């Protein structure tokens, strides 16, 4: 049924290895032979057996991308980009849903499909430094995204969160806002997650001579729309509600916008809203969402490149901290309708 190298070889009247050489474009094959073999390949419809190849070479040309929830637009868009980037290197991407649960993230790190994956791109939520440390031995991997704790255990690709948060905050301040809330502060357990952004947030305040009202820093359990809506409701119920909100990601902001609309609070007049991630949804929301836009294509490219390097060499080169560009994209939720 299946066509093997052997079949092609017999059909072309050469040895198996010569066929293999043709397939790989190796040297030491006459044009004549090459043509003969290629014809046989086409005629028989030969397709290399990747299992056999990877058994022999130890490579699968598959990398895993582990994300908390593929259903979340940011991760879906990221996955999209990563697949493109990987494609350019001849790699296929195996997306894995960790659900942000530790157990599952741990499983990913110690090898989802043991021996089946050349490397991992990992965008964790729950995982912390300890586990990461343990992990780094198994298979080359690169951390990416903004939810990652600062590590020093592996390559990490992200934008400069301090600078980005500062730019977002400064934008609100320039618009004359002074009571700026934060949704998704997560002071609680995983302090490290939001820490750099809060730092940038405070920096911007300091530079403008404004004080931060810590009652306006709202932690959320998750980073999704319902949490955003709930946090916004909480803020509006305060005696002195904020005049603007910096959301740790766009879906939180979408949730916040929803609550503001329900309560008839006008955006941006009464409350300005800014998000983070620049998902497509925010470009079509009403009002459209001002946000920090990471260069996702660059993110994917840099991450994949770094992983490729780890795979093909420098497995134990010192970990690098790689930064990508970002942009403040001003839309209606802070600037109003033109």
**Site residues (CB under 8 A) for a second copy?**
2, 47-52, 54-55, 60, 62, 69-73, 75-77, 79-80, 83-84, 92-97, 111-116, 225, 229, 254-255, 257-258, 261, 280-281, 283-286, 288
Which entry of a second copy, DNA, none binds 116, CB below 5 to 8 A by partner kind? a second copy
Three-state secondary-structure class, residue 186? coil
Give the closest residue to 143 by CA, choosing from 59, 73, 80, 66.
Answer: 66
Work out whether strand 119-122 and strand 92-97 pair parallel, antiparallel, or are unpaired.
unpaired
Rounded distance between C-alpha atoms, residue 199 and residue 161, angstroms: 9
CB of 229 to DNA, least distance (A): 49
5 binds, among a second copy, DNA, none (CB under 5 to 8 A by kind): DNA
| Contact partner, 33, from a second copy, DNA, none, Cβ < 5-8 Å per class | DNA
How near is the Cβ of 56 to DNA at its closest, in Å?
4
CB within 8 Å of 26: residues ≥ 6 apart: 20
- Comparing CB distances to DNA, the nearer of 21 and 288 is 21
Selection from DNA, a second copy, none that 27 binds (CB < 5 to 8 A by kind) is: DNA
Give me the least distance between CB of 110 and DNA, in Å please: 16
d(C-alpha 106, C-alpha 322), whole Å: 24
Q: What, of a second copy, DNA, none, does residue 24 touch, CB below 5 to 8 Å by kind?
A: DNA
Specify whether the CB–CB gap between 162 and 199 falls below 8 A: yes
Between 149 and 294, name the residue whose CB sits nearer to a second copy.
294
Nearer to DNA, 33 or 203 (CB): 33
Nearer to a second copy (CB atom), residue 45 or residue 209: 45
Given a second copy, DNA, none, residue 23, with its beta carbon under 5 to 8 Å by kind, binds DNA
CA distance 25 to 32: 14
Query: How many other C-beta atoms lie within 10 A of the C-beta of residue 281?
Result: 19
Site residues, DNA (CB under 7 A): 2, 4-6, 14-18, 20-21, 23-24, 27-30, 32-33, 46, 48-49, 52-53, 55-57
Q: For the chain, percent helix, then strand, then coil, each to nearest 5?
A: 45, 15, 40
C-alpha–C-alpha distance, residues 152 and 150, integer Å: 7
3-state secondary structure of 34: helix
């Amino acid at each position: 049924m299946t066509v093997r190298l052997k079949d092609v070889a017999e059909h072309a009247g050469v040895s198996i290895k010569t066929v293999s050489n043709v397939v790989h474009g190796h040297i030491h094959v006459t044009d004549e032979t090459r043509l003969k073999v290629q014809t046989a390949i086409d005629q028989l419809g030969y397709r290399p057996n990747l299992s056999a190849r990877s058994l022999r070479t130890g490579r699968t040309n598959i990398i895993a991308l582990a994300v908390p929830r593929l259903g979340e637009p940011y991760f879906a868009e990221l996955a999209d980009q990563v697949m493109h980037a990987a494609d350019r290197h001849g790699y296929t991407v195996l997306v894995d849903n960790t659900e942000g649960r530790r157990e599952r993230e741990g499983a990913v790190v110690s090898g989802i499909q043991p021996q089946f994956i050349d490397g991992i791109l990992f965008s964790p939520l729950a995982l912390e430094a300890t586990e990461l440390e343990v992990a780094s031995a198994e298979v080359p991997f690169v951390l990416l995204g903004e939810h990652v704790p600062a590590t020093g255990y592996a390559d990490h690709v992200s934008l400069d969160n301090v600078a980005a948060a500062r730019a977002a905050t400064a934008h609100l301040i320039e618009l004359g806002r002074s009571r700026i809330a934060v949704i998704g502060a997560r002071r609680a357990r995983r302090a490290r997650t939001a820490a750099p952004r809060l730092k940038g947030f405070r920096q911007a305040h300091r530079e403008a001579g404004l004080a931060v009202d810590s009652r306006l820093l709202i932690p959320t359990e998750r980073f999704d729309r319902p949490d955003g809506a709930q946090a916004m409701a909480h803020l509006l119920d305060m005696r002195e509600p904020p005049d603007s909100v910096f959301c740790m990601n766009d879906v939180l902001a979408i949730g916040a916008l929803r609550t503001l609309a329900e309560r008839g609070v006008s955006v941006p007049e009464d409350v300005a809203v800014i998000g983070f991630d620049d998902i497509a949804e925010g470009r079509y929301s009403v009002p459209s969402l001002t946000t920090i836009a990471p260069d996702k294509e660059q993110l994917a490219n840099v991450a994949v490149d770094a992983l490729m390097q780890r795979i093909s060499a420098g497995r134990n080169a010192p970990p690098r901290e790689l930064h990508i560009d970002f942009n403040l994209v001003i839309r209606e939720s802070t600037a109003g309708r033109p």
